[in-house]
Structure 1
């Protein structure tokens, strides 16, 4: 019995030694660790809250300037509107001719303007139908179900295609398709209705500027 009592006293003694002194105790916590906790919290706030907020407030990282022209394919390009941000894509002259040109994506506010090119043997109407079918299969959204009738669209360089526009309470935009020399081009624009309206002239001008790159034959 005395051995057990002695062990219990030793355990209580060790437990007592592990408790922080009264002057360093708050709600049962050791106040001496508070500076370390505050430092960890400050680092967390810096990287999770403050840095993303600053990053979102910064101006465009790669804004379009006057004279820029973006490559859609090695032989086709267009003129983006100034101050739109280039999220992906190459300017004409930034790299040599290549069989592979990345898709283009521009942003302005909450508007996204994207251009993609791929091999296609059909017509612009058929390409538009295919794009809508793929969209419906992947996310359940049918652009054609929301849009008005298809309208012909011609660029300043004489390329002919077809376009549909849509406008809902939450989003608006358009899908325009062309087929040039066995290559299908799709131009998709989406954003808040008020911003689409404010930028409609710039958007139409960008689509209308699609044509052969100077010195290269489609």
Structure 2
């Protein structure tokens, strides 16, 4: 049973949909999409696609306008903005960052969210579970703190074809949901790099 406790505050009616917080629905949708990406696309693509955009040592990605993440070398970039990119549309951070390596999908979705990390994780799990009968949380959610002091929650999950974890943060009114999915052996092999990426999340100097 998860240790996450649902916030007792009632969600304002303008943000409710079928009893759920509408603001968290996109986070749950991307969770389902990442599981689908890993389960059906990655096994095929890994054997056939040579990624022409891979990360180099020391590269960082702009997770939100004031939160960055450093990525180890060798991850294929499906979507996302590096801190060195010059975005044409004026957006300083992509809505979604997707990285892949050796059959593991690492995805970040960010967007407006002014509730707690507990609520974001709980709502995302409920909606993802409703969409996918094979999705089950495993073990207990636990607190997590990045090296720079950003505090969030992480919750392992299993699917009929593998496993993964959902990690969430709320920073300056932005929800950050990280979904990692893969087979257990692949996840174990890449876990140090995954942990390092999450641990590297940091707020830019000057962010409040």
2:138 matches 1:138 = no
Q: 2:179 maps to what in 1?
A: 188
Q: Look up the match of 1:198.
A: 189
SS of the equivalent of 2:64 reads coil
| CA 1:187–1:54: 2 relative to 1, 3 Å | closer
Q: Distance in 2 between matches of 1:54 and 1:184?
A: 30
Which of residues 153, 157, 165 in structure 2 aligns to 1:166? 157
Shift of 1:110: 1.1
Matched, 1:101 2:94: yes
Aligned to 2:110: 117
Where does structure 1 differ by over 4 angstroms across 4 or more consecutive aligned residues?
53-56
**Secondary structure of 1:206's match?**
helix
For residues 88 and 127 of structure 1, the distance between their equivalents in structure 2, rounded to whole angstroms, comes to: 23
Paired position in structure 2 for 1:39: none
Gaps of 5+ in 2: 1-43
Deviations 1:169-198, CA, capped at 9 Å, x for gaps? 731211101111111110110001100001
Given the superposition, is the C-alpha separation of residues 58 and 114 from structure 1 closer, same or farther in structure 2, using an over 3 Å criterion? closer
TM-score of the superposition, structure 2-length normalised?
Answer: 0.71
Kindly indicate whether the alpha-carbon contact (under 8 Å) linking 2:60 and 2:83 is maintained by their aligned counterparts in 1. Answer: yes
Are the equivalent residues in 2 in contact too, given 1:90–1:102 (CA < 8 A)? no
Do 1:111 and 1:191's aligned partners in 2 also have CA atoms closer than 8 Å? yes
Work out whether residues 167 and 193 of structure 1, in 8 Å CA contact, stay in contact via their aligned partners in 2: no
How far off is 1:56 after superposition? 4.9
Alignment coverage as a number of residue pairs: 163
1:72 aligns with 2:63: yes
- CA-atom RMSD, angstroms? 2.4
TM-score (norm 1): 0.68
Name the larger-Rg structure: 1
- Does 1:212 pair with 2:207? no
**What is residue 30 of structure 1 aligned with on the other side?**
none
When residues 54 and 158 of structure 1 are mapped into structure 2, their CA distance, relative to the original with a 3 A threshold, is: closer
Three-state SS of the structure 2 residue aligned to 1:61 is: coil
